[in-house]
């Protein structure tokens, strides 16, 4: 893997993701919210149950890491789809005791998290189109 050329979209996506970690992501049982960093750390418990959307974190990391624009585009689109799919989850595992909590609302952290994926996807689409244009019509040297 080579070093990935970065764009403003890349940096904006990372900044939005970092901001999401500091905010409440969602509300459980009409109580206090769950901070994004805690959801990131402990969310993998839910992957084995109803929380497949947590895998969006892995796909956005792959999108940030890959220098191949086509692969990065695919990874960011998958991350976006998985992130949005969290809206369909009603109950989620709370901790390691297999107790479920009802998701009663979404907060700033969730929207920043998904916005991070959307910004990266838009940036990858733009970069991929530029790559295709340069491949089809190479600049004279």
Q: What is the mean pLDDT of each run of 10 residues along the chain (141 residues)?
A: 68 95 88 80 70 90 89 95 92 73 90 97 88 70 58
Q: Give the model's pLDDT for residue 108.
A: 94
Q: Long-range contacts for 28-31 (Cβ within 8 Å, ≥24 apart)?
A: 28/92, 28/94, 28/101, 28/102, 28/103, 28/104, 29/101, 29/102, 29/104, 30/104, 30/105
The pTM is what? 0.84
Q: Give the model's pLDDT for residue 93.
A: 75
């Amino acid at each position: 893997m080579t070093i990935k050329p970065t764009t403003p979209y890349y940096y904006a996506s990372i900044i939005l993701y970092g901001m999401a970690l500091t905010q409440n992501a969602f509300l459980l049982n009409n109580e206090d919210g769950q901070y994004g960093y805690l959801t990131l750390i402990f969310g993998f418990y839910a992957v084995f149950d109803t929380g497949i959307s947590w895998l969006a974190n892995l796909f956005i990391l792959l999108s940030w890491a890959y220098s191949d624009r086509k692969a990065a585009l695919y990874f960011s689109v998958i991350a976006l789809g998985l992130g949005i799919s969290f809206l369909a989850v009603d109950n989620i595992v709370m901790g390691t005791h297999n107790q479920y909590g009802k998701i009663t609302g979404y907060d700033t952290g969730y929207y920043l998290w998904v916005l991070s994926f959307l910004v990266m996807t838009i940036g990858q689409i733009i970069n991929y189109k530029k790559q295709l244009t340069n491949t089809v019509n190479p600049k004279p040297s």
